[in-house]
């Protein structure tokens, strides 16, 4: 019995977990509200995305801090998490421009098999492949 009381005192107890659970439910409700027309008519897409990222990060922080017990861990957790967080942020910032501009330098062959193609590439690749597709051209 003493162990259970010590564990509850050290880790916040059932009340803390229920408060975090209800907080997660409220944040999920906020996320759900962004799908309704009244939200889309009054809030820009950029602000909506920013709001959703803030809600998602808050939910992740609550889960990590309370359900994964990092709130009660020793300070060594910062030695592991801060450098990993910095490296992951740098990786994201390094890859975003590459992903954004990836189609600017794509070859016609890659564009031919892309999911969405600009009209001028579609027309150009169709004129080049018409003869090959139908067996014309003496290859």
Q: Which residue has the higher pLDDT, 92 or 103?
A: 92
By CB neighbour count within 10 A (0-12 exposed, 13-18 middle, 19+ buried), where does 130 fall? exposed
Helix, strand and coil content of the chain, in percent to the nearest 5, comes to: 80, 0, 20
- Check pLDDT > 90 for residue 26: yes
pLDDT in tens, 40-76: 889 888 898 899 999 999 999 888 888 777 766 667 7
pLDDT of residue 134: 46
- Check pLDDT > 80 for residue 19: yes
Taking the C-alpha atoms of residue 40 and residue 46, their distance in angstroms, rounded to an integer, is 11
Q: Find the helix packing angle between 45-62 and 13-33, rounded to 10°.
A: 170
pLDDT of residue 137: 45
Q: Are 27 and 58 in contact (CB under 8 A)?
A: yes
- Check pLDDT > 70 for residue 6: no
The mean predicted confidence, pLDDT, of the chain is: 76
Q: What is the DSSP string of 57-106?
A: HHHHHHIIIIIS-GGGS-TTHHHHHHHHHHHHHHHHHHHHHHHHTGGGG-
Q: Which residue has the higher pLDDT, 100 or 39?
A: 39
Q: Are 124 and 108 in contact (CB under 8 A)?
A: yes
* Angle at alpha carbon of residue 61, lines to 63 and 20, rounded to 5°: 50
């Amino acid at each position: 019995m003493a162990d259970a009381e010590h564990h509850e005192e050290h880790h916040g107890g059932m009340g803390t977990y229920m408060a975090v659970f209800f907080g997660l439910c409220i944040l999920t409700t906020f996320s759900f509200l962004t799908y309704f027309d009244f939200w889309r008519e009054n809030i820009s897409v950029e602000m909506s995305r920013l709001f959703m990222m803030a809600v998602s990060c808050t939910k992740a922080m609550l889960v990590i801090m309370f359900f994964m017990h990092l709130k009660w861990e020793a300070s060594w957790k910062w030695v592991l998490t801060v450098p990993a967080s910095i490296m992951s942020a740098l990786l994201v910032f390094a890859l975003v421009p590459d992903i954004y501009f990836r189609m600017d330098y794509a070859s016609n062959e890659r564009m031919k098999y892309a999911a969405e193609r600009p009209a001028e590439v579609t027309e150009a690749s169709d004129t080049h492949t018409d003869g090959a597709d139908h067996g014309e051209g003496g290859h």
